[in-house]
Amino acid sequence: MKREQAILEGLIRCAREMTAERDRVRLIQQILSAGKEIAHCQAATLFLRTANDTLRFAVRTSVDDIGGFEVPLYDPVTKEPESGYVSAYAVLNNTTVVIDDVYRETRFDLSGTKRFSESTGLRAVSMLTVPLTPRDHAPIGVLQFLNATDPDTAEIVGFSPDVVGFVEALASQAAIALDNLRLVDEQRAMVDGLVAVMAEAVDAKSRYTGGHCARMSELAVMLAEEASGATSGALAGFGFRSDEEWREFRIAARLHDFGKLATPEYIVDKATKLETVHNRIHEVRARFEVLFRDAEIARLRAIHEQGVAPEQADAEFDERKRTLIDEFSFIAECNLGLIPMDADRLARLHAIASRCWHRNFDDRLGLSRNELRRMEQAGEGSATGDEPLLADKMQHVIGRDATPNPAAQSGFSMPIPEHQLNSGELYNLGIRIGTLTEEERFTVKEHVIHTIRALDNLPFPEGLKRIPEYAGCHHETPTGTGYPRQLSGDEVSTPARILAIADIFEALTAWDRPYTRPNTLSEAVDALFSLKENGEVDAELFDIFLRNGIYRIYGQRYLQPSQLDEVDVSKHL
């Protein structure tokens, strides 16, 4: 009775342990250890079913080397069930097999067991094989025990019906625990696969910024690892305390720009002010070419029709040519967005724009229905006529949809421009600095909103619930000047602050962007330091970033040799 009581207590204890265990190897070892104790036997083995319909040794209590041997469930040629093997029979028939004497058994091929006996000196006598069957599914493996022993005399005996019942109860619990772990593993694999696909989709969005998410996430992990070792200051005690928390952070880093899938590629990669799907400087150049031809024609007419002296006509043509070249060079320079557009430059731009050229063809031909409708609504378009060299036309402006903007719907604190897009030539060339209009900057910033909304709609398991928060806050700042929610202070978590620094530094040093030259290490550190001074990045994380040489390690891995200059860390700490 005491023996049965001990077995029951052991079963209950083992059930609790198996329910709590998340490590597959440790779970299998627990199952086998508990089974051997309940069966009170000399040896035990656990087989697991493979995708190839074989039984593979997962773990055994003996230390002999069995190599990669697998028990087939079906004949590879005839595809008939291999019922001659006791373990295969137990799985195929979902039934327990009890053998009192291995050497007298005639139902099964036990030559392998006998060879095991001869090679190890552990003579096999009694055997118990129990299938591992989760709920109502097919068996996923078997437990096999050798040589039950009498608790009092230690003599080898057969497996009693009571012991068989207890082992079957354990096998049922073990099968459910293993199946639950399989489901967890499959869920994990599915999430990881989904993350990989989503991240690859973002990377494939742009041929220029394709490596950003991968590089940024690696840099973020490097900084998080170093920050976890902080022993003083606000970061003391920070750290991810489990593999699941690290996984949550890594996924958030990898998906921080997922919303860019909704951002038009030409805006993400806009390298010049007149760029839409293509760089419209070519259209402007064509108009200057027209004015140049007009000047040539005027010269010839002056000489041959008006009797003007060739020297005078040539001088006037040369002056006109120099003016056109100078004016187009100025517009081309404005298009690059490298020089701020002050009042003088804007005045000159508008003076040049007011010059007219003559169009001889109908500008409504070849347009789409949407383009024609916008022209009609604006009262624009004609068969022929004079046009200013540069213009902002109503057809260049696309209004916002009547449906509420995601930013307004979700309560984000981002000012929303009146128009969705304004591709007016003067409007774009007049951008004060950079290449993006107010509308385009909002569209770029809006990627964070799309990221948050997309990730919020994914049913992440409990251990991954903070992914939307981490990923959606990488543009927030401790000062409350970030976006999209303008969080401040402790509202911006440490993981989000880490992502912010990694995102900024990767962007500063990226050598594959079409709209800016890559910074050297020292230039990028100087820029990051300025943000630290303004409170826009976490000061302690910045110090760790420098003091622990993370910038240098990252640079050696990913930057061009020409970017790897010396950084005077002392002036920033």
Would you call 46 helix, strand, or coil by DSSP? strand
pLDDT of residue 407: 57
Residues 390 and 313 occupy one common structural domain: yes
pLDDT of residue 66: 52
* Token code pair at residue 476: 């927030």
Q: What is the mean pLDDT of residues 387-403?
A: 85
* 476 and 493 Cβ atoms separated by less than 8 Å: no
Residues 129 and 11 occupy one common structural domain: yes
**Closest alpha carbon to 227 in 572, 567, 556, 539:** 539
CA 444, 446, 451, 457 dihedral sign is negative
| Alpha carbon of residue 544 to chain centroid | 25
Residues 129 and 44 occupy one common structural domain: yes
**What does the alpha-carbon distance between residue 246 and residue 214 come to, in Å, rounded to a whole number?**
16
pLDDT of residue 266: 85
Q: What is the mean pLDDT of residues 227-254?
A: 91
- Residue 200 maps to a domain: no
- Residue 377 maps to a domain: yes
Number of domains observed in the structure of the chain: 3
Q: pLDDT above 70 covers what percent of the chain?
A: 94
**What does the alpha-carbon distance between residue 486 and residue 476 come to, in Å, rounded to a whole number?**
6
pLDDT of residue 523: 95
- Residue 267 maps to a domain: no
Residues 414 and 544 occupy one common structural domain: no
Per residue in 271-324, pLDDT tens?
999 999 899 999 999 999 999 999 999 999 999 999 899 999 999 999 999 999
**What does the alpha-carbon distance between residue 462 and residue 468 come to, in Å, rounded to a whole number?**
13
Residues 468 and 552 occupy one common structural domain: yes
More confident residue, 175 or 413: 175
* Token code pair at residue 199: 């991240």
Residue length of the chain? 573
- Residue 270 maps to a domain: no
Residues 215 and 354 occupy one common structural domain: no
Residues 309 and 406 occupy one common structural domain: yes
Per residue in 455-479, pLDDT tens?
999 888 888 999 999 999 999 999 9
Q: Tell me which amino acid residue 561 is.
A: P
Q: Which range of residues forms the domain containing residue 177?
A: 2-185
| 361 C-beta neighbours (distance < 10 Å), count | 9
Where residue 138 sits, what CATH number does that domain have?
3.30.450.40
- Residue 201 maps to a domain: no
Q: Which of 103-117, 328-342, 387-401 has the lowest mean pLDDT?
A: 103-117
pLDDT band, residue 123 (cuts 50/70/90): confident
Per residue in 53-110, pLDDT tens?
999 988 876 655 555 678 999 988 888 998 888 999 999 999 999 999 998 888 888 8
pLDDT of residue 212: 87
pLDDT of residue 514: 72
- Residue 395 maps to a domain: yes
* 252 and 470 Cβ atoms separated by less than 8 Å: yes
Last residue within a domain, chosen from 130, 152, 185: 185
Q: What is the mean pLDDT of residues 106-131?
A: 83
Q: What is the mean pLDDT of residues 180-204?
A: 85
Residues 18 and 124 occupy one common structural domain: yes
pLDDT of residue 62: 62
- Residue 199 maps to a domain: no
Residues 141 and 9 occupy one common structural domain: yes
Task: Point out which residues pair with 385 in neighbouring strands.
Answer: 359
- Residue 32 maps to a domain: yes
pLDDT band, residue 410 (cuts 50/70/90): low
Residues 474 and 549 occupy one common structural domain: yes
Where residue 463 sits, what CATH number does that domain have?
1.10.3210.10
Residues 406 and 307 occupy one common structural domain: yes
pLDDT of residue 265: 84
Q: What is the mean pLDDT of the chain?
A: 89
| 255 C-beta neighbours (distance < 10 Å), count | 25
Residues 27 and 69 occupy one common structural domain: yes
pLDDT of residue 449: 92
* pTM, entire model: 0.78
Q: Rg for the chain (alpha carbons), in Å?
A: 37
Last residue within a domain, chosen from 121, 154, 185: 185
* 133 and 93 Cβ atoms separated by less than 8 Å: no
pLDDT of residue 564: 93
pLDDT band, residue 509 (cuts 50/70/90): very high
